[in-house]
Amino acid sequence: MIPLRLVMAGSPAAAVPTLTALAAGPHTIERVITRPPTPQGRRRTLTPTPVADEAARLGIPVLEARRLDEIEADLQALPVDLGVIVAYGALVREPLLSWPRLGWINLHFSLLPRWRGAAPVQHAVIAGDAETGATVFQLTAGLDEGDWYARLTTPIGAHRTAGSLLDELSRSGADLVRQVVDDLAAGTAVPHPQEGTPTAAPKLHREDAALRFTEPADAVHARLRGVTPEPGAFCHWGEQTLKIHEATIARDAPALPPGALRRDGTRVLVGTATQPLELLRVQPAGKQAMPAADWARGWPAGAPTELA
Ligand-binding site membership of 22 (annotated) = no
Closest residue by Cα to residue 74 from 57, 53, 96? 96
Ligand-binding site membership of 111 (annotated) = yes
Read off the amino acid at residue 243: K
Closest residue by Cα to residue 243 from 259, 268, 224? 224
Torsion of CA 111, 116, 119, 123, to 10 degrees: -70
> For the chain, first and last CA: distance in Å?
60
Angle between helices 50-58 and 16-23 (to 10 degrees): 20
Read off the amino acid at residue 275: Q
Ligand-binding site membership of 113 (annotated) = yes
Interstrand relation of 240-249 and 234-237 (parallel, antiparallel or unpaired): antiparallel
Ligand-binding site membership of 91 (annotated) = no
The CA distance from 260 to 21, in Å, is: 49
Q: Distance of CA 128 to CAs 13, 78, 162, Å?
A: 25, 44, 12
The CA distance from 150 to 164, in Å, is: 22
- Residue ranges for the known binding site for (6S)-5,6,7,8-tetrahydrofolate are 110-113
- Residue ranges for the known binding site are 110-113
